[in-house]
Amino acid sequence: QVQLVESGGGAVQAGGSLRLSCKTSGLSFSAFGLGWFRQAPGEEREFAASITPNGDTAYYGHFTKGRFAISRDNAKNTVYLQMNSLEPEDTAVYYCAAKASYSGSDYRAYDYWGQGTQVTVSS
């Protein structure tokens, strides 16, 4: 059974940082591309970042503006999202997702999802 479990969300003030983690199990981690998405109330799910199976290439959504960094540890079956210079507009539920041999920005393409972790940024 495939499981993705996010952690690391919380409440921070504008300008602060958070590091999200997504621990996976039940899949061949090194064969999967991984993505982070976010969804605010009433909004469509939005691409934040993704990383290729071997970790050599990362992609970012336009809103990240150099503030976010995705990384993965294949030995720990875990993907991370470092978020710096957070803004109130970053408030959302953040989800990780996985798909074999894919690391694109289309959330509809991903096969497996975590339950999400809430990030709240106050001004």
Task: Give the C-alpha distances (Å, rounded to integers) separating 91 from 10, 18, 80, 114, 123.
Answer: 10, 12, 18, 18, 11
pLDDT band at 1; cut points 50, 70, 90: very high
Summarised one tens digit per residue, pLDDT across range 33-44 is 999 999 999 999
DSSP category for residue 52:
-
Summarised one tens digit per residue, pLDDT across range 70-85 is 999 999 999 999 999 9
Sequence-ordered strand ranges (E) for the chain: 3-7, 10-13, 18-25, 32-39, 46-51, 58-60, 68-73, 78-83, 92-100, 112-113, 117-122
Residue whose entry in the numeric block shows the structure tokens 């999967």: 32
- Residue type, position 18, single letter: L
What is d(CA 72, CA 29) in angstroms, rounded to the nearest whole number? Answer: 10
DSSP category for residue 56:
S
